[in-house]
Amino acid sequence: MKATQRSDYTFKYNKKLGRHGWLRLTPAYSVKLVKEITDNIPDDSFILDPFSGTATTGLVAVEHRLSAHCFDINPFLIWFGNAKCRNYSKSELRKLKSGIENTLTECKMIVNKDNWVPKIHNINRWWCEHTLKVLAALRQALVNQFGEPKKDNVSALAWVAFCRLIIETSSAAFNHVSMSFHDEVTTFEIEQVEYLYLEIVNVIIQSASEELMGLASVHFVDSREPVFIDDVRYSHVITSPPYPNRMSYIRELRPYMYWTKFLDTARDAGELDWKAIGGTWGIATSRLQDWESNGIELPETLRRVVTKILETNEKNALLMAKYVWKYFHDMHLHFHSLRNSLKKGAMLSYIVGNSSFYGIQVHTEKLLEDSLRSLGFTNIGSKVVRKRNSKKELFEFCIYATWKETRKYEPVFLGVNSAQWEQRSLF
C-alpha cells in the first residue's frame, strides 16, 4: 500500500468546520487526524499540545468534552487560540453585533482621514492604496469601538473577522503548500469591504454561538522548558511541532500580526522566530551562525546526518548542518522537560514531517524516536500519515510513545498498519 497525499489529513479539511475554519493557516493540522487520535480516549483525559499553533487540538478537545492545555510562544496564536476555545453567551454576541453596526457607521465617517496602516514590507503587493485606506478606516473604527485586540473578551471575534477580511481582500494566493501572490491586486470599494466583513462576522458568530463542553486554554510557554499549570499531569500529548524544513510559521502570520499590532517591525518577526524551534525568519538565520549547542548528549544518528550535510561542501552546508543540529537539539530539550509534566503511562502522538538537505535525507521520525528512547520513553514507533508532495521522499509521520509504561500504544488510524509500515517500500 502506497501512502498518498491525503488532503483530508491537512489544514484543507478544516476550512468548513465552524471555528476550525476561522483563519486559514497552512501549517495547521487536520481536525480529522486529531479526532482519530482522540477517539476512544477516556473522558477524564487531560491533553497537552505543547505546539498549539491555531489550537486545533484544544478545540477538538473542548468539542468532545475533554480538557486540554496548549502552549505556544507566538502571542498572536495564544490570543487567537483562546478566542477559538472559549464559550460566548447569547447576550455577549448580541452586544458584539450592535458594536459592529456602530463600527461600520464610523468607518464611513473616517475613511478619508489619515488612519494608521501597518509597516508591512512592500504593502502594495498585498493591497492597493484604495483598499488599504478602507481597511485602515475599518481598523480604526474597531479600535474606537472595542479597543486593541489584546483582551480576552467577545470583541476578539470582531478582530478575528477583521483578520480574515484582510486576507480575503489581499492578493495572497494559497494555491500550494505555502503562500504566494497573485499578479493583480484587486480594488475594493468601501461598500464591498463592509459587505464582506459583515458576511464573515455572521459566519464567525454563528459558529461561536455553539456551546463547547470541555475546557481548553492556550498559554505562553516555551516548550523546551519545564512548566506546571495548575499542577496538572497530562495523560496524552497530541501535537504537531515545527518541521525541520526551514519553513517559518511566522511567514503566513505576518499580515494578521501586523494589522493586530502583535508585531511591529520586521526585526520583531525575526526575534520571535528565533525563539521558535526550527525558526529561520530574518535575524533567526544570522543568529544561527553563532549558535553553539549547550553540550547535551544527542543521539549518535543525528551526528551522522549532520556530518553528511557538512560533507556535501555546498555553499551553505555549515548553516544547514547547524540548522538541523539545533532543531533536534531543541526537540530533545522539549522531550526532556516534558517528562516532568506527564502522568505515568501518558501517550504521545507527534505529527511531523521529514526533510532533505542537498540530497541528504533527514529522517525526522527516526531521529526523534532516538531522542525519546534515550530519555526513557517506551513503546516508541511511527507510522506514515501521508505523502507531503510530489517529491518521492517527503512524508508526514505520527510518532508515538508512552511514558514509563509497558502497555503497547499505537494510534489506531490512518489505515496503514505496522506490518505495512515495516516494509517501508517507499524508501
Residues near ligand SAM (CB under 6 A) are: 25, 27-29, 51, 53-54, 56, 71-74, 77, 222-224, 240-242, 249, 276-277
Of 290, 299, 279, the closest CA to residue 318 belongs to 290
In the complex with ligand SAM, which residue's Cβ is closer, 118 or 244? Answer: 244
Which residue number has the CB closest to ligand SAM?
A: 53
In the complex with ligand SAM, which residue's Cβ is closer, 138 or 238? Answer: 238
In the complex with ligand SAM, which residue's Cβ is closer, 73 or 136? Answer: 73
Distance CA 277, CA 285 (A): 12
In the complex, minimum distance from the CB of residue 220 to ligand SAM, in angstroms, rounded to a whole number: 9
In the complex, minimum distance from the CB of residue 39 to ligand SAM, in angstroms, rounded to a whole number: 17
Instruction: Look up residue 229 and give its three cell numbers.
Output: 499549570
Instruction: Look up residue 311 and give its three cell numbers.
Output: 560533507
- Exposure of 106 by Cβ count < 10 A (0-12 exposed, 13-18 middle, 19+ buried)? middle
In the complex with ligand SAM, which residue's Cβ is closer, 135 or 282? Answer: 282
In the complex, minimum distance from the CB of residue 73 to ligand SAM, in angstroms, rounded to a whole number: 4
In the complex, minimum distance from the CB of residue 174 to ligand SAM, in angstroms, rounded to a whole number: 15
In the complex, minimum distance from the CB of residue 101 to ligand SAM, in angstroms, rounded to a whole number: 32
Q: Are 164 and 200 in contact (CB under 8 A)?
A: yes
Which position has the grid cell 480516549? Answer: 41
Which position has the grid cell 520583531? Answer: 268
The Cβ of residue 238 has, within 10 Å, a number of other Cβ atoms equal to: 30
Length of the chain: 427
In the complex, minimum distance from the CB of residue 248 to ligand SAM, in angstroms, rounded to a whole number: 9
In the complex with ligand SAM, which residue's Cβ is closer, 50 or 149? Answer: 50
DSSP state, residue 123? G
Distance CA 110, CA 113 (A): 5
In the complex with ligand SAM, which residue's Cβ is closer, 51 or 127? Answer: 51
